[in-house]
Amino acid sequence: MDNQYLQTINGDLWLTEDERENLKISYRIKEVLFSKQSPFQHVMVLDSYDFGRMLVLDGVVQTTSIDGHIYNEMISHIPLNLHPNPEKVLIIGGGDCGVAREVCKYDSVKEIDMVEIDELVVSACKEHLPEVSGNLSDPRVNFLFIDGVKYVENKQNEYDVIIVDSSDPIGPAEQLFSKDFYTNLYKALKDDGLMVCQSQSPVFHLDVLKRSYSHIQSLFPITKLYTAVVPTYPGGLWSFTIGSKKYEDVKSDNFSKDTKYVNQAILEGCFKLPEFLQQALK
Amino acid sequence: MDNQYLQTINGDLWLTEDERENLKISYRIKEVLFSKQSPFQHVMVLDSYDFGRMLVLDGVVQTTSIDGHIYNEMISHIPLNLHPNPEKVLIIGGGDCGVAREVCKYDSVKEIDMVEIDELVVSACKEHLPEVSGNLSDPRVNFLFIDGVKYVENKQNEYDVIIVDSSDPIGPAEQLFSKDFYTNLYKALKDDGLMVCQSQSPVFHLDVLKRSYSHIQSLFPITKLYTAVVPTYPGGLWSFTIGSKKYEDVKSDNFSKDTKYVNQAILEGCFKLPEFLQQALK
């Protein structure tokens, strides 16, 4: 049962995230449901005591059944409520299928291209993490198991909304935070399109957030930052940045999708930033 | 240097919070600045790599120089902006002095009674945690090193605002979450007074939050819940509950205190609750 990421201590199984030099978080684990090396990373689905089932990539928790919906709802419903009529949506990353699941809740959406480099993440989540993936089987979702950075290089004027659901900007995901990549997203969007990306922790990675925000601000006429609380991410507070060619305000005044976190109050409140963040973006 | 809460691993000093059965958080420590047993608890001030200086009681991190201001600003400025003219304020707990420091920013406030059971916490924080305590020396603050539960038993019609800055509802702080205690707070408040308490994590202690909210709702005509993100508390998301005899809305439309987290946007946005919390309070 043990591998390099799991340890047995006094008969209990523990996963310890130790990518950070000065902070370690350990989760007590009930059961290893899936564990396999893909060409890109080590993929596990674990059942934990406090957070339910968890997707773990290279030993780092990515999403859990207890709070995965918060991140996935926030990165999906906010941009889809800024755009008045999203029909064609591109998701880059998002292998846990939670974003695609949320996007499928919009009848206006006709087509969803989901570009995820690692097919093993998708198959593992569909089978072992139904709380997040929803066993996704909507025919509007077109899976493409290729590199998202390469995919957008030659796209022009094609998408209404692009959602970048990346992991941390270390290793392969680093390019998903580069100005070249955002430039290609701008081109891939229609004249009134908009994009969103996760822009990391305002507490621990304010430098990444500011760089990413500044790249997007230099390309798009409208740039907006919003936050949510994701309990399993260090620091809890997480940021998302929107780059929009035309639409600026939330359209809905009576949000009523089937959600656990997002509602009309959150749609309006999520753009209200604490003072240190307002200062950091000046 | 080592004690029961600190361990040396490969030459590095670590504090591991292990009060939770299924989740352990370990902080790498630079230096132990203060470590002593009081009649009530074990008190440490540590200098950590990622969170700056930290107050640690019985091995559990209470506040840090990197994010202590968030909790202290949120539990102070929100009630002080609901009340139009707070003059006499009672703080129960709050030994790190951060709440008293924020309350002192209001010229309308003439008198602050600060009732903290453990004098050693106050002296340790004044000396070793100036980022949080501000080396508090405002003459309006009247320190009373006694039991807050007993203190409010015979108070009547005396305070404009009461702030309950308690630790978790385990052991001595348990009574600070009881209906008897809230009943005494109600009596200790003037006819237009209001109280606020921290009501724990909506993610991990929704039961405590709901019980506390329901007690307050049964006593006060107006009950309001608000949230903030405190990175060093497990789950990040934290809740506060207000019980008010008269005032319901934020008075200020141009908040301008010297703060790092609270601003006009947060004053308005903090009451906008995610869907699962709105449902839980129904």
Tell me what ipTM this predicted complex has: 0.88
Q: Which residue of A has its CA nearest to B232?
A: A235
In a 13 Å sphere around the CA of A161, the CA atoms on its Cβ side amount to 30
* Candidate CATH numbers 1.20.120.160, 1.25.40.10, 2.130.10.10, 2.30.140.10; the one for domain A6-64: 2.30.140.10
Cα of B73 to nearest chain A Cα, Å: 11
Rounded to the nearest angstrom, the minimum Cα separation between B272 and chain A is 5
Nearest partner of A278 among A219, A220, A206, judged by Cα: A206
Mind telling me how many Å the CA of B239 is from chain A's nearest CA? 12
Helix boundaries (H) for chain A: 68-82, 98-103, 119-128, 130-133, 148-151, 179-188, 206-219, 264-269, 275-280
Q: Which residues of A touch B202 (CB under 8 A)?
A: none
Token couple for B247: 């005032």
Residues B234-261 pLDDT 10s: 778 899 999 999 999 998 888 999 999 9
Q: What is the mean pLDDT of chain A?
A: 92
pLDDT band for position B171 (cuts 50, 70, 90): low
Mean pLDDT of B191-196: 98
List CB contacts (< 8 A) between B276 and chain A.
Answer: 260-261
Q: How far apart are CA A112 and CA B123, in angstroms?
A: 60
Question: Is residue B226 within 8 Å of B270, Cβ to Cβ?
Answer: yes
* CATH-assigned architecture of domain B68-280: 3-Layer(aba) Sandwich (3.40)
pLDDT for the residue numbered A168? 75
What is the radius of gyration, based on Cα positions, of chain A? Answer: 18
Does pLDDT of A73 surpass 80?
yes
Residue in B49, B236, B274 closest to A261 by CB: B274
- In chain A, the residue whose alpha carbon lies closest to the alpha carbon of B15 is A23
Judged by CB atoms closer than 8 Å, whether chains meet at B265 and A278 is answered as yes
Q: Do A23 and B27 touch (CB under 8 A)?
A: yes
SS3 of residue B2 by DSSP:
coil
Q: Does residue A136 have a pLDDT over 90?
A: no
**Class of B6-63 per CATH?**
mainly beta
Contact A266 B275 (CB under 8 A): yes
CA B222 – CA B243 distance, rounded (Å): 6
- For chain B, report the end-to-end CA distance as a whole number of angstroms: 50
Choose among A26, A203, A278: nearest Cβ to B231.
A203
Candidate from A51-55, A175-179, A180-184, B122-126 with smallest mean pLDDT: A175-179
Q: Which residues of A are annotated as a binding site?
A: 41, 96, 116, 147-148, 165-168, 172
Among B49, B237, B268, the residue with its CB nearest the CB of A236 is: B237
**In the structure encoding, which two tokens stand for residue B227, read together?**
């949230």
CA–CA separation, A89 and A68 (whole Å):
21
Catalytic residue annotation of B: 165
Give the per-residue pLDDT at A171. Answer: 67
Question: Which residues of chain A have a CB within 8 Å of the CB of B258?
Answer: none
Q: Is B116 annotated as belonging to a binding site?
A: yes
Q: Given this model, what pLDDT does residue A155 score?
A: 97
Q: Quick one: closest CA in B to A15, which residue?
A: B23
- Residues in B lying within 8 Å of A, measured between beta carbons: 14, 20-28, 48-50, 66-67, 70, 203-204, 227, 229-231, 233-237, 259-263, 265-266, 268-269, 272-276, 278
- Are β-strands B159-165 and B189-198 bridged in parallel, bridged antiparallel, or unpaired? parallel
In chain B, CATH 2.30.140.10 sits at: 6-63
Mean per-residue pLDDT, A247-271: 92
Closest alpha carbon to A131 in A72, A215, A187: A72
> Closest approach of chain B CAs to the CA of A120, in angstroms?
28
Annotated binding site of A for spermidine: 96, 165-168
A1 and A13 in contact (C-beta within 8 Å)? Answer: yes
Task: Dump pLDDT digits (tens) for A178-213.
Answer: 899 999 999 999 999 999 999 998 988 899 999 999
Per the DSSP assignment, residues forming a β-bridge with A45 are A34, A55
| pLDDT per residue as tens digits for the range B18-61 | 777 888 889 999 999 999 999 999 999 999 998 999 999 999 99
The Cα A152–Cα A150 span in angstroms is 6
Q: Is A106 helix (H, G, I), strand (E, B) or coil?
A: coil
Q: Which of B260, B42, B35, B231 is nearest to B128 (CA)?
A: B35
What would the two tokens of residue B34 be? 């203060």
Q: What is the pLDDT of residue B260?
A: 94
Coil/strand/helix, residue B214? helix
Q: What is the pLDDT of residue B3?
A: 79
Q: Taking CA A230 as the corner, what is the angle to CA A229 and CA A235, rounded to the nearest 5 degrees?
A: 80
**Up-side HSE of residue A34: CA atoms within 13 Å toward CB?**
21
| Catalytic positions of A, written as ranges | 165
Q: What size, in residues, is chain A?
A: 282
> What pLDDT does residue A239 have?
95
Residues of A in contact with B254 (CB under 8 A): none
- Angle, CA B29 vertex, CA B24 and CA B32 arms, to 5°: 120
* CATH 3.40.50.150 intervals, chain B: 68-280
Q: Is B168 annotated as belonging to a binding site?
A: yes
Beta bridge partners of A32: A46
Question: Which residue of A lies nearest to B18 if distances are taken between CA atoms?
Answer: A26
Within 13 Å and on the Cβ side, how many CA atoms surround A163? 31
Residue B1 scores a pLDDT above 70:
no
Give helix A179-188 / helix A206-219 axis angle, nearest 10°.
Answer: 40
Range of weakest confidence among A16-25, A41-50, A124-133 = A16-25
Which tokens hold the place of A103?
């996007």
Residues of A in contact with B259 (CB under 8 A): 275
CA distance A266 to A81: 12
**Gap from A134 CA to chain B (nearest CA, Å):** 19
pLDDT at B20: 77
Amino acid at A218: S
Average per-residue pLDDT for chain B = 92
Out of A228-237, B130-139, B195-204, pick the least confident: A228-237
Shortest Cα distance, chain B CAs vs residue A145, angstroms: 33
Nearest-by-CA chain A residue for B269: A269
Number of Cβ pairs closer than 8 Å across A and B? 121
In single-letter form, the type of residue at position A208 comes to V
| Selected residue with higher pLDDT from A86 and B166 | A86
pLDDT for position B12: 93
Q: At CB < 8 Å, which residues of chain A contact B? A: 14, 20-28, 48-50, 66-67, 70, 203-204, 227, 229-231, 233-237, 259-263, 265-266, 268-269, 272-276, 278
Query: What integer pLDDT is reported at residue A184 of this predicted model?
Result: 97
For the stretch A138-183, pLDDT in tens is 999 999 999 999 999 999 999 999 999 987 776 667 888 889 999 9
Residue A172: per-residue pLDDT: 65
Q: Percent of chain B having pLDDT more than 90?
A: 77
- pLDDT, one tens digit per residue, over B57-115 is 999 999 999 888 999 999 999 999 999 999 999 999 999 999 999 999 999 999 999 99
